[in-house]
Amino acid sequence: MFNKKRKVSNRVQIGKKILRYDSSRHGQIGETMTWIVATMVIIVILALSILVASLVGNSREVSGQDFQNKDVLASKSFFSYLLTKDSGGETVYKQIQSEENLNDFNGNLGRDIFLDFYSKEYLDMWVGLFFDRTFNPSPSNDYFGDRPFEIRVGYIRRNIPHITQEVFLDENKSLELALKIEN
Amino acid sequence: MKTKGAEKIISVYWFAILFIVAAAVVYMVFSFYGEPYDVRGIETGLLVDRIADCLNSGGYINEDWQNLDESNILDECRLNFNVEDTSGWNDDQYYIEIEISEFNSGKILEEVFAGNRNLNNNCGIESRNFPVCLERSMYSVDEENNQYKIRILSVIRKTEKNVQ
């Protein structure tokens, strides 16, 4: 009698165990899937990072334009231009100082020098007389047109990156060579 | 509740992931920093600027420009073409060419060369494994108001140090 009872309780226990194993198997599969997906995500992120690192690492050319804030040759050309004399023996500097604008001689000479030498290296350029820059930030002349280095949207002004070389005529006026490096 | 066996498997998994991440980080660092910086573009620019400084001062052309030649240009412009003793280099990694001509007529008045002339043949080839060339021009005048165009070409090889 006692043995019979024991046998029955064993069977129940075995049955319970089987039931317990069955329900946990679903949980294990779900957990494994989570780990696999997590591993895949980690591998994909690493692969992307490696790809980006190798792409960026391959283009390690350091160009002069990355640090450019002046152009030695253009500046020297500009100073020589200002020292050039016309047939009357007057320098371009003196001419512009007295006439307050470019004339045929210095305007065309400026175009011959700067457009010929530097138009391939820069997006745009301007040479001219710069008056009061607060009220007239975009002066123009017949030889180089408008000074295209400032964009105005309403009251907001944005400077376009450019290199300048300036020679002051007095407190408010200056002669400027401006070379545009970016749009 | 996790069994001891499952915990062991998870520890192994974590170590595997840790190893993969560490290996990937090391690979990324090597691929990013392993490649040398190619600074020849800047170097050619500096060389041209140095020659321009030597030929034009205060807006006027150097008074002795007619006496410049292959033998004295390096001394006059305080240039030194010696390079480090590496990859079989034999102080032949630089080349400069200066041409001074009349501004209006274009008539060539003076030509000066220095360095390894063979490097000049590779200019125009767009490849990182070839020398880097930079040609620029400058306007100048002398005290007598003669106008000049000065063309400066600088070429630098140094491929082994700047490109892998």
> Would you state the pLDDT for residue B23?
94
Residues B3 and B83 reside in one and the same domain: no
Torsion of CA B69, B71, B77, B81, to 10 degrees: 130
* Exposure class string for B3-25: b at 16+ Cβ within 10 A, else e: eeeeeeeeeeeeeeeeeeeeebe
Kindly report, residue by residue over B100-109, the tens digit of the pLDDT. Answer: 999 999 999 9
- 3-state SS, residue B145: coil
Residues B121 and B103 reside in one and the same domain: yes
Give me the residues of B, 21-80, that contact A with CB < 8 A: 21, 24, 27-29, 31-39, 41-42, 45, 48-49, 52-53, 56, 58-61
Residues B99 and B126 reside in one and the same domain: yes
Identify the band that residue B75 occupies on the pLDDT scale cut at 50, 70 and 90: very high
The pairing of strands B108-115 and A150-153 is unpaired
Q: Is the model more confident about B85 or about A78?
A: A78
Looking up tokens 């560490």 gives B22
Segment B15-31 shows an average pLDDT of 91
**Is there a contact between B20 and A42 if contact means CB atoms under 8 Å apart?**
yes
> Which amino acid does the sequence have at A168?
F
How far does the CA of residue A48 sit from the closest CA of chain B (Å)? 10
Q: Looking at the complex, does the CB of residue B9 fall below 8 Å from at least one CB of chain A?
A: no
Residues B132 and B154 reside in one and the same domain: yes
Segment B43-68 shows an average pLDDT of 93
> Would you state the pLDDT for residue A153?
62
Looking up tokens 């082994």 gives B160
Residues B101 and B47 reside in one and the same domain: yes
ipTM surpasses 0.95:
no
Which one, of A86, A99, A118, lies nearest residue A173 by Cα?
A: A99
Residues B94 and B153 reside in one and the same domain: yes
Residues B144 and B100 reside in one and the same domain: yes
**Which residues sit opposite A145 in a β-bridge?**
A141
- 3-state SS, residue A130: strand
Number of domains comprising chain B: 2
Alpha carbons within 13 angstroms on the beta-carbon side of residue A48 total: 6
Measured distance CA(B30)–CA(B17) in Å, rounded: 20
Residue among B35, B49, B58 minimizing CB distance to A60 = B35
* Exposure class string for A125-136: b at 16+ Cβ within 10 A, else e: bbbbbbeeeeee
> Would you state the pLDDT for residue B115?
92
| Nearest C-alpha in B relative to A57 | B32
Residue among A62, A73, A82 minimizing CB distance to B38 = A62
pTM beyond 0.90, yes or no: no
Residues B27 and B47 reside in one and the same domain: no
> Would you state the pLDDT for residue A114?
93
Looking up tokens 């006027």 gives B60
> Would you state the pLDDT for residue B112?
94
Residue among A56, A61, A84 minimizing CB distance to B145 = A84
Handedness of CA B103, B106, B107, B108 (dihedral sign): positive
Residues B148 and B91 reside in one and the same domain: yes
Residues B74 and B128 reside in one and the same domain: yes
Residues B55 and B29 reside in one and the same domain: no
What does each of the 183 residues of chain A score in pLDDT, given as a tens digit? 445 444 444 444 554 555 455 556 666 677 778 888 888 999 999 999 999 888 877 666 676 666 667 899 999 999 999 999 999 999 999 999 898 889 999 999 999 999 999 988 888 888 998 877 666 667 888 999 887 666 666 666 667 777 888 898 888 888 989 888 876
Residues B8 and B50 reside in one and the same domain: no
> Would you state the pLDDT for residue A9?
47
Domain that holds residue B86: 40-162
Looking at residue B91, the DSSP 8-state letter turns out to be: S
Segment B138-164 shows an average pLDDT of 92
